[in-house]
Amino acid sequence: MPHAQPPLDLEPLTRRLAETLGSQASTAVDLPHHTVRPATDAVDVAPALALLARLQRDPAAALAYEGTLGEGGMGRVMLATQVALGRKVAVKSLKAPSPHGTRALLREAWVTGALEHPNVVPVYDISLDAQGAPRIVLKRIEGEPWARLLGAPERVRARFGVDDPLEWHLRTLMQVCTAVHYAHSRGIVHRDLKPENVMIGAYGEVYVVDWGIAVSLRDDGTDRLPLAREATALAGTPVYMAPEMLRVEDGAVLSERTDVYLLGAILYELIAHRPPHDAGDLPEIVDSVLRSEPVFPPGAPPNLVSIARTAMARLPEHRYPAADALRTALQRHLEHRGSMLLSAQAERRLAELTALLDRRGGDDDPVARYRLFGECRFGFRQALAEWPDNARAADGLRWATRAMIEHALRLGDPKAASALLGELSPVPVDLRGRVEAGLAEQAAGEARVAQLERLEADLDPSVGQRTRTFFMMVMGACWTLSPALRSLFVDGGITYTTAVGGPLLFMLLGIALTIWARESMGRTAINRRMLAIMFATFGALVLNDLLNRERGIPVDHSLAQHIGITALAVTCMVISVDRRLWPAAVLCTAFYVAAALSPRHVNGFMALANGSLTVNAIWAWFPRGEGLLDPRRWRPRGDQ
């Protein structure tokens, strides 16, 4: 259990608070959020008031100079203490007072003082020194010009704790764009934007300085600033100048887009590490300014290059319409930088893929081809997933896919090309036509191959081989034994009735076996031809006997013709079914001749002829290496 706290004595604290509030004590309950101020102050203000009175009598004593911060062509900047406020300030004055210098210094003071913006150095005062020359009291910036940091990425990393110096510089430029856009909203054009005129404070603060040659877009009636439309004198920094700045004497008018060009020139320097018109001698600089066709180094970020080209367009109407539009473009670049980095990586893979696809005379490497295509396609898709409007990634994905489709068509693989075609949107009409033509040609070729395969299978003696052998064993055994049995068991000799009945019975047996094994026996041309010849033979035997009976030819002579018809049928089988049956054809022919010469032995010769055909067929068709007695081998399956 926690220890209970002793009761607090609130009376002393309440009394003290009431004494502090004084007259406000009665309303303290109603003013709980008001500041409690001390009732008495021990600070003696008399010395401060005396100091202010002395400074009013002696303005020269208002600033206590301590040293020089920097010098320019006409002026210098001194470090001083503003005595009245006790703070360090920067005091800008002229080295040698002159009407021209005085006017420039005063204009800078007027412009800077009118631009109350976080990225513009505040003006604290403007006064005369002891010699009557003007001086500007400015906020002291504890920093350095931006130009000193452009070529020192390690220094930027160490000082500001950034991982990507380029991104830091771009964000600095965006702040400069904000200050310039604010100045434009007040009708003021800087005319001398460059890294040297941007100060970076100790904590990364960004200040646009040196507004000495600024011009006004509006006539406010004070004549403090020259009007842009009347500024005919050449002014600015040549290596950053916009084309119209060189043609002011020819009637070219300065505008907000002049500063946009100068901001684009700073962006060029961030990319190329040098000013855009740093071309050598003065004529070359002038030519570079008038042409305004900046050349960027290889490997420069394409999106930044595009932004810089737009900002530095030769004609003002082709540039960004305002400094804020340039800032927005830079902001979008930074927002989508991850997507663009993915695009750049994918483009490198695409370059390798293109080189591989264009290679001639080398071995085709499908593994490398599909690996590179997969990598670049994945990269472009990831880039589009992060930024769906990334046109660079969309173009790269289309290019990679089309390259693979073209390659697949060259390899004769329209199906692979068709599968990739669905990834293109929209699909080019010419490419779709080529793929469809390739598919049609491939389908026609496959149809021809399938037809040849069907024909080959139709003529393959191994298909239905077991069923055909079994069929021949049954039919051959009956056909071989029937003449012998007929001579032994038919009393009174052979008649045409028994002669005709035999082929009819065999025909019925053959029909029964065919129905039983119809799938296998009807599967191939060999089996179909064998059946056709067999049934034609039986029909010929019956017709032969019927005709011979009408003509009065002895039945034994008609039976001898049975052997001849069989020999003819076997010869047909040799020609159209299986050449290996030629021994049976020869023997059947020989037995036909023997039976014709000796009709009384016709049954024996018929048995020998039928037996030779049966044995020959079984030898030719018997499945090698398979058990003869295994009943599963003789099932009438279509794959036999």
pLDDT reading at 251 higher than 90: no
Give me the residues paired with residue 618 across strands: none
Q: What is the pLDDT of residue 530?
A: 86
Q: What is the pLDDT of residue 95?
A: 81
Residue with tokens 């019956």: 542
CB atoms within 10 A of CB 253: 14
Average pLDDT over residues 208-234: 82
Give the range among 52-66, 310-324, 361-375, 419-433 with minimum mean pLDDT: 52-66
Q: What is the pLDDT of residue 20?
A: 52
Average pLDDT over residues 18-43: 47
Q: pLDDT tens, 81-106?
A: 888 788 888 898 888 877 777 777 78
Average pLDDT over residues 347-376: 80
Q: What is the pLDDT of residue 46?
A: 62
Better-scored residue on pLDDT, 391 or 321: 321
Give the whole-angstrom CA distance, residue 309 versus residue 294: 8
Q: How far is CA 120 from the centre of its chain?
A: 44
Q: What percent of the chain has pLDDT over 90?
A: 21
Q: How far is CA 207 from the centre of its chain?
A: 41
Query: Is 377:397 a contact under the CB 8 Å cutoff?
Result: yes
Mean pLDDT of the residues in the chain: 82
> What are the boundaries of each domain within the chain?
59-140, 143-335, 350-456, 460-634
Give the whole-angstrom CA distance, residue 265 versus residue 285: 14
DSSP 592-631: HHHHHH-GGGHHHHHHHHHHHHHHHHHHHHSPTTS-SS-G
Give the range among 55-69, 88-102, 369-383 with minimum mean pLDDT: 55-69
pLDDT reading at 200 higher than 90: yes
Average pLDDT over residues 207-215: 88
Q: pLDDT tens, 572-592?
A: 989 988 898 899 999 999 999
Average pLDDT over residues 138-160: 90
Q: What is the pLDDT of residue 27?
A: 46
The phi-psi region of residue 524 (left if phi > 0; otherwise alpha if psi is between -120 and 50; otherwise beta) is beta
Q: What is the pLDDT of residue 10?
A: 61
Specify the DSSP element, H or E, that contains 505: helix 496-516
143-335: CATH number: 1.10.510.10
The phi-psi region of residue 145 (left if phi > 0; otherwise alpha if psi is between -120 and 50; otherwise beta) is beta
Give the whole-angstrom CA distance, residue 571 versus residue 568: 5
Count of helices and strands (H, E) across the chain: 23, 10
Q: Omega before 426 cis (within 30°)?
A: yes
Give the whole-angstrom CA distance, residue 204 versus residue 160: 7
Strand ranges, E, within 347-407: none
Average pLDDT over residues 250-270: 92
Report the candidate in 143, 248, 140, 238 with the shortest Cα–Cα distance to residue 194.
Answer: 238
Pick the CATH number of 59-140 from 3.30.750.200, 3.30.200.20, 3.90.1150.10, 3.40.35.10: 3.30.200.20
Q: What is the pLDDT of residue 629?
A: 43
Strand ranges, E, within 475-625: none
Q: How far apart are the first and last CA of the chain?
A: 94
Most confident of 141-155, 280-294, 316-330, 528-542: 316-330
| β 198-201/143-145 pair status | antiparallel
Average pLDDT over residues 500-521: 84
pLDDT reading at 43 higher than 70: no
Average pLDDT over residues 400-404: 88
Report the candidate in 279, 267, 301, 273 with the shortest Cα–Cα distance to residue 152.
Answer: 273
User: How sure is the predictor about 51, in pLDDT bands with cuts at 50, 70 and 90?
Assistant: low
Better-scored residue on pLDDT, 2 or 464: 464
What the block records as the tokens of 221 is: 């009636």
Cβ contacts of 596 within 8 Å, gap of 6 or more: 557, 560, 564
| β 215-216/188-189 pair status | antiparallel
Q: What is the pLDDT of residue 264?
A: 96
Better-scored residue on pLDDT, 99 or 190: 190
Better-scored residue on pLDDT, 357 or 194: 194
Give the whole-angstrom CA distance, residue 248 versus residue 230: 9
Angle made by CA atoms 130, 136, 139, in degrees to the nearest 5: 130
Query: Is 302:392 a contact under the CB 8 Å cutoff?
Result: yes
Q: Please, what's the b/e burial string for 368-404 (b: 16 or more CB within 10 A of its CB; e: otherwise)?
A: ebeebbebbbebbebbbebbeebebbbebbbbbbbbb
pLDDT reading at 408 higher than 50: yes
Q: pLDDT tens, 516-560?
A: 888 888 778 888 888 899 889 989 988 988 998 888 898 888 888
pLDDT reading at 459 higher than 80: no
What pTM does this model have? 0.58
Cβ contacts of 178 within 8 Å, gap of 6 or more: 117, 119, 323, 324, 327
User: How sure is the predictor about 40, in pLDDT bands with cuts at 50, 70 and 90?
Assistant: very low
Give the range among 205-209, 471-475, 586-590 with minimum mean pLDDT: 471-475
Average pLDDT over residues 467-494: 75
